[in-house]
Structure 1
């Protein structure tokens, strides 16, 4: 995490709009210079284009760290390896997972006092003024309760909740020029709903308690909320120790260790999908998982949690079963039920989407076709990147708005598995899903 701190939190639509506009001008200037260099310096061997990508990504990240909130959530999405963005963007934007400038100490003290009614020294036996981590919506500090319990205190940046609507309005004005979709307003409403929940730390405390009750086990460790020291903008929870993915991989763990944690991740996600609650940890990026020396998987940050409607979850599982069975007759009506295909769509567009989703769906279910699957095999990851890239080139964006966060989970988990490269046993996950489908 950066040692720098920045207490400038532009809250008004005008101030934030100026930052967005300034960033656009800088990116445009970088691109204009690149085009000029192509004329004066001749053919590019790829070096200048990579430099352009890096400069633009750095400009975006620098300004997004000022905006925080919704803008940094976008940066986190940019860091996911989907094959759509150049790898220079992903390298720079990966900082959004771990390296955001924190608030200074005086502002942290004020935010805790405003939220809990007293300063940290009056509330905790010990409180570390230096942030343990800073992310898009808030930052966390280690502390200790009077009874000796180690905890972390998450402190929300000022004005984050108040800027969601204006940020999304600006984002929509850009997206609508790129994406053709009859459902764009519904997608934006879905994002707005989850962001409003994520900025309510009382809601996150409820999520933490739910996941602790449902999933804490010999395989998974979750925090527990400390409700006496939690408010809408300050959240206290028990401390979970472990390494983030980048530190874990830096130690060059043996394949058996990669397999072990890959299995933990895979099973954890499938338990949620098959659950009667249909409630999923919907922010599957590397900063939210910890790899522990005791072999358990640590799961943290429960702000972004999605509960899927019964009919949507059930239709998705029916589609999964139809894909496994290559049952084309069952697939067609399910694509309509999920609003991937819809009445009024012209024949060419319908054929194009059906072809894409048949190929994409067959790829997604491939791990379930065998008892063991090697996520370290480069061909699968390359094919996945190609499908994501192809999706970005489709003129039509279709599907239920519930796909917004299902896709986030899907991209996140496959990205994590691609980095870990584990060989996993898929029998338990397949049994969980098959059992749920049978019970429908």
Structure 2
């Protein structure tokens, strides 16, 4: 856990303070580019690919450092954009992943003030116990453990000051900055998508609604979801029942046997597919290790329901059709659906078009590979390497392509694959194929052949 700050002045809440940090970051990125271009002309600093990787890493580190100070919209936007395959270089995904664990928390006085302003009383008057040191500090808020007078253990999420008020100004400035880092194309629709989700994520009443929805849909024998405590929740403070469990890093440090790895990997895999196949089309889109808990009773804890995405019906259905076309190696329908999903455009040059099509053929084939056999081993190092190479290849695309709805689908999908390749389970894919086939049949599409029949 990072050290507590000693002064409220360390938190840049005003528009002017935040604009200065953005400007400073832009200067750093510009300086990095100038050095890269000078080295390219003189031939210093290794080969071209190595220089570009160094540039990307340096830019990502500078962005991470300053956006971590900003927290809020800036950091959340950086995380979301870096998870969008093809939007940002691969090095950004690696650096920005650290933001989930290394955000400096608010000092104790500011936490107490935020709770008093939201709930009318200081935390010691609201809760039987309240731990002043944060359990976790992330991009939009931080979490403290507490206990209610009725004996329930709860987690209290406290939002950083002025987060919602800075969304528009942060995104306006960040739009210019990130426009220098992405590879061509228009990113306005992607920024609009991030902005819309941020507006939802910074409303803790909305997150309480999400918690209730997921608890009703998925809290059962194998999945544990907290419950919102409405009397102790507002738009900026969210109190929910506390869910015990270990995060992935702690779980793996205890050297779990293969059976335990397989068990939790199966729960993660099936949880995603239950959501995709649901009529609600609503996805827990923040699939990073901090949001899942591995419990001693064998159940999977799922927490943090701020980043939830409900997909339009046509987008969800076209993704199912694309899955089916990939499984059937149906090139004609793949081509049609890549246009339908705004990945391919008629106005692209042949060279760019071929490059984009080649990448998405590679990426799509990898994504459907687990479904082609009744079981799949995510501990296969060859699969992990190909996945990593594919993400690196994504950073070389010259155009920003695809529906903006891909941002949070990719966030969930890439997050899940990251979890599974660390956990290294062998999973059974038959149930997930059945779920997707049921949805395909409702669309009037021919279902995918069973795994055993496809080999």
Give the TM-score, by structure 1 length. Answer: 0.90
Q: Which is further off, 349-358 or 288-297?
A: 349-358
> How far apart are the structure 2 equivalents of 1:344 and 1:253?
52
Residue 397 of structure 2 corresponds to: 394
Q: SS where residue 139 of structure 1 aligns? A: strand
Deviation at 1:335, TM superposition (A): 1.7
Q: Which is further off, 167-176 or 373-382?
A: 167-176
From 403, 408, 411, give the equivalent of 2:411: 408
Residue 2 of structure 2 corresponds to: 2
Q: SS where residue 333 of structure 1 aligns? A: helix
* Contact persistence 2:80–2:194 (CA under 8 A): no
Residue 13 of structure 2 corresponds to: 11
For residues 207-286 of structure 1, the aligned pairs below 5 Å read 207-286=210-289
> How far apart are the structure 2 equivalents of 1:346 and 1:58?
34
Structure 2 unpaired stretches of 5+: 444-455
Q: SS where residue 350 of structure 1 aligns? A: helix
1:225-265 deviations in whole A, cap 9, x for unaligned? 00111100000000001111111122222222111111110
Residue 22 of structure 1 corresponds to: 24
For residues 33-432 of structure 1, the aligned pairs below 5 Å read 59-74=62-77, 76=79, 93-177=96-180, 178-182=182-186, 184-432=187-435
Q: SS where residue 301 of structure 1 aligns? A: coil
* Contact persistence 2:81–2:407 (CA under 8 A): no
> How far apart are the structure 2 equivalents of 1:382 and 1:82?
16
Change (3 A) 1:38 1:314: closer
Deviation at 1:343, TM superposition (A): 3.5
> How far apart are the structure 2 equivalents of 1:209 and 1:43?
54
Deviation at 1:3, TM superposition (A): 2.1
* Contact persistence 1:81–1:415 (CA under 8 A): no
Deviation at 1:322, TM superposition (A): 1.0
* Contact persistence 2:80–2:408 (CA under 8 A): no
Change (3 A) 1:51 1:333: closer
* Contact persistence 1:99–1:133 (CA under 8 A): no
Change (3 A) 1:220 1:357: same
Change (3 A) 1:361 1:48: closer
Deviation at 1:125, TM superposition (A): 1.6
Deviation at 1:29, TM superposition (A): 6.0
Deviation at 1:39, TM superposition (A): 12
Change (3 A) 1:56 1:316: closer
Deviation at 1:51, TM superposition (A): 9.3
Deviation at 1:107, TM superposition (A): 1.0
* Contact persistence 1:80–1:415 (CA under 8 A): no
Give the TM-score, by structure 2 length. Answer: 0.87
Q: What value does the CA root-mean-square deviation take over the aligned residues?
A: 3.0
* Contact persistence 1:81–1:90 (CA under 8 A): no
Count the aligned residue pairs: 437
Change (3 A) 1:258 1:407: same
Deviation at 1:426, TM superposition (A): 0.7
Deviation at 1:277, TM superposition (A): 0.3
Change (3 A) 1:356 1:78: closer
* Contact persistence 1:9–1:159 (CA under 8 A): no
Deviation at 1:309, TM superposition (A): 0.7
Deviation at 1:82, TM superposition (A): 7.6
